[in-house]
Amino acid sequence: MASIVSSLSAGNEVALQKFFSSRVCFHLLYKSSHHGATVNQLLDRFDKHGKYLLTVFLQSGSVRGAFMSKPLMYGNEYSDEEVFVFKMTDYYGKRFPGLNYTRTVTVSVGSVSVSFGKGLNLKLVNGCWYESFCSDVVHGKIGLEDDNVCCKDVELHRVQDVGDILPNPWREVSWYDTSRENLRKDFVSYNLLLESLPRVKALLLGPVGSGKSSFISSIRSTMYNRIVHLPSIGTAVEGFTQKMTTYDIRVNQRGPQSVLSFCDVMAIGDDDSTGLSFSDALAVIKGHVPEGYKFQRGVTVSDTVSGYIANPTLNEQIHCVLFVLDASKVTSYPSGLESTLKKLHSTISDMRIPQLILLTHVDQVCLAVQKDLKDVYSSRAVQDKMQKAGELVGLPLSYVLPVKNYVSRLTVDCSTDILLLSVVMSILQAVDDTFEDQYSNPVFKSTYDLDNFQTMKK
């Protein structure tokens, strides 16, 4: 549904919000120009429970419609105490609530029509929705303003209360195009502290379907300013990725490499028998596993493996670990997975390697965030999922980074890019923070870098 765009303008939504006593969001369920102008398609789009908005778009540019607290059903006439009809133009709307004749909702199969009292009537004629609206239902006048007007489009939206949205975001983010460009420039020009480390290697660890590979393609999409399609992305019951693959992140397509690369491996499971084993994960982190190695269940990485790296250099080791978790599943992950995550976290901490949590699919746990990603740090639902993700691994909330991968869009988006680039900068900063403590006399790349570092410490 994410690829279907509603005809509601920003002004329409502002006008619609005024019809409700609390903030709501609208989730598109049906669009006649996309799904087809049939009564079956319309009625089949209703959920079993919910409140709905039926919007009718006319050639004149005006919008009419009705709100109902019950789904429409074939051949039924019933009362709805919350129903009202409305009409609006951009930024201005008028609601006609409460009169007895607008509280009766009828779905007539014979004439294929939907009526809200005498306030709004939709008829299906020769594959086209026609609409008639009472000119002044507030004063009870029944004369029709426009009788049987052919509709440009008809949409059905689920109406959801977003009382879960906080009045102020609990993390401040600048959501402007200039912010995205500044983040991109900071990433492209980033200088690591150590001369001996030209590039940070970040490992993605997560269960099946968490979005590890999609995250990598999303980062590349952000840098290339277009959607990138990698051949290594797919779906499988036991996880699509089977080989160890390192992806360099370039500053633009065919451009120079940045200071960051990502390592993608087999998905982790509840235990060693259902995914990447604990010992294999540690072998990857220590730098023993060769590029392209195919992980096999029951076969542990050892020095007998072709290409095994016995004495890995700092460049071949992993410098940061990202635990990738699905926001829509964090409350339902099995206890076995939680044990695996905590065991990995504890061991990696002993190795003094920085760790972060990447929380994907945050748009799937809150309709307001699905509508506008800028609400991600105002959503209680997202905050709760982030807190749960931290508890699963054993890390504080400040280590949890929410993102939305490019899985349905065909073009890049500013807000999505900002979250993705924020993750990239967090990785680089976490690595530098760790090296600052590990190396008492770090070798800097230039005097300029040293001056910056000293200034930062002051």
Strand 200-205 and strand 257-264: the pairing is parallel
* 404-428 pLDDT, tens digit each: 999 988 999 999 999 999 999 999 9
pLDDT for res 384: 95
Domains of the chain in sequence order: 10-161 (no CATH), 177-457 (3.40.50.300)
Q: Please indicate, yes or no, whether the overall pTM of this predicted structure exceeds 0.85.
A: no
Phi-psi region of 422 (alpha: psi -120 to 50; beta: other; left: phi over 0): alpha
Confidence grade of residue 85 (pLDDT, cut at 50, 70, 90): confident
Among 29-38, 54-63, 89-98, 100-109, name the one with the lowest average pLDDT.
100-109
Cβ(334)–Cβ(268) under 8 Å? no
- The CA distance from 445 to 90, in Å, is 57
pLDDT reported for residue 298: 76
Instruction: Give DSSP secondary structure letters for 129-145.
Output: EEEEEEEEGGGTEEEEE
C-alpha 429: how far from chain center: 24
- Over residues 34-66, the pLDDT tens digits come to 888 877 788 888 876 778 998 888 887 888 888
- Under DSSP, the state recorded for 158 is E
CA angle 402, 405, 410 (to 5 degrees): 145
